[in-house]
Amino acid sequence: DGGITQSPKYLFRKEGQNVTLSCEQNLNHDAMYWYRQDPGQGLRLIYYSQIVNDFQKGDIAEGYSVSREKKESFPLTVTSAQKNPTAFYLCASIKRSGDSVYNEQFFGPGTRLTVL
């Protein structure tokens, strides 16, 4: 089955530590995204990548870093510079079709990060 996997499902981190969230897709999708979701709020874009070895900051990139070395993988590192990292993190991807923007985003199951 094709899809997006995120691991781990739950993650606990001590304050001051960096942590990396995994996102892998086998959908052969071109663009990948990281969002953060807080209770009662919508999804906020952290970073996105349209092609391998290229990525752009979203609306709340401070305290986060990403890499896109392979088409199927887009890991997110939450650094100690992120002041309030406890949240639900969602990874998503899109299959680009030429210039079409009419494509749905496929989401992973999410990782819930808690800072102790």
Partner 1 sequence: SQKIEQNSEALNIQEGKTATLTCNYTNYSPAYLQWYRQDPGRGPVFLLLIRENEKEKRKERLKVTFDTTLKQSLFHITASQPADSATYLCALVHNDYKLSFGAGTTVTVRA
Preceding omega of 75 cis (within 30 degrees of 0): no
Residue 33 or 74 having the CB closest to partner 1: 33
Between 80 and 88, CB nearer to partner 1: 88
CB of 80 to partner 1, least distance (A): 26
Please classify residue 62 by burial: count the beta carbons closer than 10 Å to its beta carbon, then call 0-12 exposed, 13-18 middle and 19+ buried: exposed
CB of 24 to partner 1, least distance (A): 14
What is the closest distance, in whole angstroms, from the C-beta atom of residue 51 to partner 1 in the complex? 11
> Look-up: residue for tokens 């949240």?
87
Which CB sits closer to partner 1, 41 or 84?
41
Residues in the chain, overall count: 116
- Which CB sits closer to partner 1, 75 or 80? 75
Instruction: Centre a 10 Å sphere on the Cβ of residue 83 and count the other Cβ atoms it contains.
Output: 8
For partner 1, the binding residues (CB under 8 A) are 4, 31, 33, 35, 40-45, 48, 50, 58, 88, 90, 92, 94, 96, 101-102, 104-110, 112
CA distances, 106 to each of 4, 11, 33, 102, 115 (Å): 7, 22, 10, 13, 27
* Min separation Cβ 94 and partner 1, Å: 6
